[in-house]
A and B are shown apart, each in its own frame.
Chain A
Amino acid sequence: MLAFLLKRIGLLIPTFIGVTIAAFSFIRLLPGDPVLLMAGERGLTPERHAQLLKQFGFDRPLYEQYFEYLWGAFNGDLGNSLVTKKPVLTEFFTLFPATIELSVCAIIFATALGIPAGIIAGIRRGTTFDHSVMGTALIGYSMPIFWWGLLLIMFFSGIMKWTPVAGRISLIYFFPPVTGFMLIDSLLSGQKGAFTSALSHLILPTIVLGTIPLAVIARQTRSAMLEVLSEDYVRTARAKGLPPIRVIAVHALRNALIPVITTIGLQVGVLLGGAILTETIFSWPGIGKWMVDSISRRDYPSVQGGLLMIAAIVMIVNLIVDLMYGLINPKIRHTG
């Protein structure tokens, strides 16, 4: 197991270095002079221009700049936002809990619905239930989620007036963030109605962000179930006269869920990508919206820092999923 662990981490290092190079090159790939880009429309005097070039280190050789950037990144310095002047990393971690809260809720929603639906569809293969689950899953999989969000807002907020349109909590509640997770903070604040308000703000974004993972999980669970059900050991268990529920719950399900767990783990990238659209539609103050805003405000240090952080998070989560898979499935551990 240790060898497997070291090998996987070893594979990750070159990729991580590549990611830092990609993030580093980002500002330098932008057409035009980086200082002029940052200065924006106002323009600069030549003296100020030279001074800024020196200040940002753009006058030194590229490799020196890169190592300085890398050194800064490892010490938690990703530069300052051009708009708010605050450190990029501080901004990132202020907004990140909102994205985690949304993503966790979305994946819970997707798993809680997707796994049972997939299992039943797999057991009742070819029935109307199976066809309707798979049809719905295919629609979910084909959904332009930004449009799906607009539709849900139009129906549930506009026509039914059930849910709020945007934000994380109603403006009448105010309390200092403790954990950064609105559901927990609203409970801790003890204010009446705060939790309900936070929850009602969360419902639509959760559905929107969870739709594609839900479809993927349901399809994957069904096909894993079908595969396992045709295995010899399931037939043996049936032949032994075990009750069908036991065959499914104990013999089939435990093996069928292994690939499903991996699939769930690999949704992290999908969630962070989907968060860009979901957060934009619901004005959810997380990193997805922050990235889009930073790009349109030309706040390049923020974009650069955000890219690096998000890629690092995706890589770490994928590593954990990989290791867990190795832990569950010895075949992978020994050959991979």
Chain B
Amino acid sequence: MSEATLATEVIDKRKGGLIGQLDEFWRYFRENRGAVGGLLFFLFICLVALLADLISPFGPYEQFRDALLVPPLWEDGGDSRFLLGTDAVGRDILSRLIHGSRYSLFVGCIVVSLSLIVGITVGLIAGVVGGTLDTIIMRLMDIILAFPSLLLALALVAVLGPSLTNAMIAIAIIQQPHYVRLTRAAVLGEKNKDYVMAARVAGVGRARLMFVTILPNCLAPLIVQAALSFSTAILDAAALGFLGMGAQPPTPEWGTMLADAREFIERAWWVVTLPGIAILLTVLAINLMGDGLRDALDPKLKRS
């Protein structure tokens, strides 16, 4: 035993275990400059969301009756109090955008955790148990996939009632099939490999087999999917807010802020433009990160 350990130490100088894996992952990830940029911007948004109360100049609901539709500072008529101007009822747009980051990140986190937990469990069950249960689960997922996702989310919110919580539930449901399918496909790929067979022969129970033996080897595609669906969740939640079926006014959610922006197209570009830029940059950063994750985790592309 001690000899064997010694031998590996001599031959393999790479760090072992989780740290080694992370180290290897980071080496691939940092090669992708876009991904690192995305990660930095994402961390910046997280920081903004955490410190929203400290860094925002005003409260998100605070109204200044003397300053309606004030343009940003650098435009003619700008007010030094309001860097990015104010909206139609005199609220500071910068403060609302800063607080809005909380909602978007919150939506992303909740939706991704919900769909990861449920999707992985259901997918594992479908893959490991197989048979009729598998067929039923996959047909259910097909039914969800038959509807355009935003339409289904709209209909679900119509049933549940429009609110941010219900929008998150609806978005988690429409994202379910992707996780279930990915997990199931990965499980089917791993299921008949020798190490699973060995675990079976050793008498490992089904639950342990699913979560401890097989799952860790199926994680790579799921991590990538989680990153991509984080951004889809933010986009969908903003779209629902825009249609009046997500977060309700006066919540400073970015999509909701755009809901009545249309009437200001002709006279107040900043009311229309800024919340959209916030959505676009956040989603773009996450997608850049997701692409980097995919390249770093996809063994097909690794040239080691």
Whether the Cβ atoms of A150 and B142 lie closer than 8 Å is no
Task: State whether B150 touches A273 (Cβ < 8 A).
Answer: yes
- What separation, in Å, do the CA atoms of A151 and B270 have in the docked complex? 11
A26-B155, A141-B287, A151-B272 known; A270 vs B148 contact (CB < 8 Å): yes
Selected contact of A292 from candidates B34, B140, B154, B276, CB within 8 Å: B154
A199 interfacial by beta-carbon distance below 8 Å: no
Least Cβ–Cβ distance between B149 and chain A, in angstroms: 6
Nearest B residue to A272, CB-CB:
B148
Contact A150 B288 (CB under 8 A): no
- Whether the Cβ atoms of A144 and B279 lie closer than 8 Å is yes
Q: B235 near A311 (CB under 8 angstroms)?
A: no
How far, in angstroms, from A321 to B182 measured CA to CA in the complex?
Answer: 21
Q: Are B155 and A281 in contact (CB under 8 A)?
A: no
CB distance from B131 to the nearest CB of A (A): 16
Quick one: closest A residue to B272, CB to CB?
Answer: A150
Task: For chain A, give the interface size range.
Answer: 35 or more
Cα A272 to Cα B148 in complex, Å, equals 6
Provide the residues of chain A in CB contact with B151, threshold 8 Å.
272-273, 276, 291, 307, 310
Q: Is B6 an interface residue (CB 8 A)?
A: no
In this assembly, does B74 line the interface, its C-beta being within 8 Å of a C-beta of chain A? Answer: no
A295 on the B face (CB < 8 A): yes
Would A273 and B149 be within 8 Å (CB), given that A142-B283, A307-B155 are in contact? yes
Question: Which of A143, A153, A295 gathers the greatest number of chain B CB atoms within 10 Å?
Answer: A295
| Interface flag for A22 (CB, 8 Å) | yes
- Residues of A274-293 whose CB lies within 8 A of B: 274, 276-277, 280-281, 291-292
A296 interface residue per 8 A CB criterion: yes
Are A147 and B146 closer than 8 Å at their CB atoms?
no
Contact B154 A147 (CB under 8 A): no
**B265 CB contacts on chain A under 8 angstroms:** 150, 153-154, 158
* Bound-state Cα–Cα, A148 to B284, Å: 14
Judged by a CB distance under 8 angstroms, whether B114 is at the interface is no
Report the bound CA distance from A303 to B283 in whole Å: 30
Q: Decide: A18 near B143, CB < 8 A? Known: A273-B150, A292-B154.
A: yes
- Whether the pair B244, A147 counts as a contact (CB closer than 8 A) is no
- Contact: B143 with A19, CB < 8 Å? yes
Interfacial chain B residues near A270, Cβ < 8 Å: 148
Q: Does A29 contact B (CB under 8 A)?
A: yes
Chain B: number of interface residues, binned into ranges: 35 or more
Residue of B at shortest CB range from A304? B155
Q: Are B150 and A277 in contact (CB under 8 A)?
A: yes
A14 within 8 A of partner (CB)? yes
Interface flags, A145-159, vs B, CB<8A=1, else 0: 011101101100010
Residue of B nearest to A298 (CB): B158
A interface footprint on B219-244 (CB within 8 Å = 1, 0 otherwise): 00000000000010001001100111
Interface: B195 (CB within 8 A): no
Rounded to whole angstroms, the CA-CA distance of A29 and B151 in the bound complex is 17
Known pairs A144-B235, A291-B151, A307-B147; A158 contacts B159 (CB<8 A): no
The smallest beta-carbon distance between B126 and chain A, in angstroms, is: 15
Contact A295 to B245, CB < 8 A, known contacts A14-B139, A277-B239: yes
Instruction: Indicate which residue in B146, B235, B269 contacts A15 across the interface (CB closer than 8 Å).
Output: B146
Q: Contact between B276 and A15 (Cβ–Cβ < 8 Å)?
A: no
> Judging by beta carbons under 8 Å apart, are A138 and B143 in contact?
no
Contacts of A326 in B (CB 8 A): none
Task: Give B241-276 interface residues, CB cut-off 8 Å to A.
Answer: 242-245, 255, 258, 261-262, 265-266, 269, 272-273, 275-276
A residues sitting closer than 8 Å to B (CB atoms) are: 11, 14-15, 18-19, 22, 26, 29-31, 138-139, 141-144, 146-148, 150-151, 153-154, 158, 269-270, 272-274, 276-277, 280-281, 291-292, 295-296, 303, 307, 310-311, 314-315
A sample of 8 cross-chain residue pairs with beta-carbon separation below 8 angstroms, ordered by A number, consists of A15-B142, A138-B291, A144-B255, A158-B265, A270-B148, A280-B243, A292-B154, A314-B148
Give me the 9 closest cross-chain CB pairs, A-B, nearest first.
Answer: A147-B276, A273-B148, A18-B143, A273-B150, A142-B283, A142-B284, A15-B142, A311-B146, A272-B148
